[in-house]
Amino acid sequence: MPKGRPDGNDALQPAPRRDGAGVPDLARRLLVGGLAGLAPATALARVAAHAPVHAGAIHHHAAGAVHAPLHAPAIIGRAAPPRPLVMLDPGHGGKDPGAIGISGTYEKHVAEAAASELQRQLEASGRYRVAMTRADDRFIPLEGRVDIAHSHKASLFISMHADALTNRAVRGASVYTLSSKASDRQTAMLARTENSADRYGGPQVHADSPEVQEILASLVTEETRHGAAHMASSIVTAFRPRIGLLQHPSRHASFVVLKSADIPSVLVEMGFMSNHMDEAALRQAAHRMVVAGAMVQAIDRYFATDSMVTHATG
């Protein structure tokens, strides 16, 4: 008994038919089916030379019929633009614990947990690629974090923190952009604290020099400043209905980690570890999910703006 296809579809797969001088039927269809552009011209010429000529074809040609030229199939459409890459930067890490909460919670752990949740939600949306400056408990200098963003050709840089203040009554989220001058005294103090994190990297790191910061701030392009301001505004809008904010939540100062000249960058303070209510909330996975959800909404709004999409995809 002849062997057939295991799926029983032998009848759907006829063997190639051969005619005349042994030319496969497939070659004949190539000659008359408009697919000449898919095969080399010399190969088709050799096939045509050996193909049998039927009397009907001679009679049709003699009648003066005009044959349409053969063309390759058209290629319609083009590849979708690449998804923008969002670089998430959990603050501190390793030998740098960051702020220590009233109950002993380390800022570095809160920042990493919140950034990991945000990464999960962004990737689940299917709209973005996501990278982290650190995905474990390690120390990375401030300059190194910016370098990582550049090596990934990031479209957006978000540094995530939960600092501490001397005034334990202050609570609420806020967002910061780069400027050579601080918007207020409290923000200037936060910037000094954040910029001093490089002290854990040894004496060779001096990124927190005021002179250096003023030069770095002057190198940021106007387009990048506009993008950072737009992202900061989007975060405040997304946070307002669901997360407590400082009275003036959008602020600026000379944060080293925001110094990229061409990647819009923001620093998000999710709350203050010095306030027992903020610390307790940030210890809860459910609250961090709410923070991440609001961040996704803000990122969606940012990339929905035509100018931002153009900047992100080049």
Rg, C-alpha atoms of the chain? 32
Per-residue pLDDT of the chain (314 residues; tens, 9 = 90+): 544 444 444 444 444 444 444 444 544 444 444 444 444 444 444 444 444 444 444 444 444 555 556 666 666 667 778 899 999 999 999 999 999 999 999 999 999 999 999 999 999 999 999 999 999 999 999 999 999 999 999 999 999 999 999 999 999 999 999 998 899 999 999 999 999 887 776 655 545 566 666 666 677 788 999 999 999 999 999 999 999 999 999 999 999 999 999 999 999 999 999 999 999 999 999 999 999 999 999 999 999 985 544 444 44
Reported pTM = 0.72
Give me the sign of the Cα torsion angle 200, 206, 210, 212: negative
Alpha-carbon gap, residue 135 to 190, rounded angstroms: 24
- For the chain, which domains are there? 83-310 (3.40.630.40)
**Contact (CB, 8 A) for 149 and 242:** no
Give the pLDDT confidence score for residue 170 in this predicted structure. 96
140 contact partners, CB below 8 Å, separation of at least 6: 93, 94, 133, 134, 148
Alpha-carbon gap, residue 265 to 224, rounded angstroms: 8
189 contact partners, CB below 8 Å, separation of at least 6: 165
3-class DSSP state of 62: helix
Alpha-carbon gap, residue 36 to 40, rounded angstroms: 8
Give the pLDDT confidence score for residue 68 in this predicted structure. 59
121: tokens are 């939600």
3-class DSSP state of 46: helix
**Contact (CB, 8 A) for 142 and 198:** yes
199 contact partners, CB below 8 Å, separation of at least 6: 205
Alpha-carbon gap, residue 160 to 115, rounded angstroms: 7
257: tokens are 């980690």
Q: Give me the DSSP letters along 207-256.
A: TT-HHHHHHHHHHS-HHHHHHHHHHHHHHHHHHTTTS-EEEEEEEEE--G
Give the pLDDT confidence score for residue 209 in this predicted structure. 62
Give the pLDDT confidence score for residue 306 in this predicted structure. 52
Give me the sign of the Cα torsion angle 92, 98, 102, 104: positive
Q: Which helix (H) or strand (E) holds 41?
A: helix 41-50
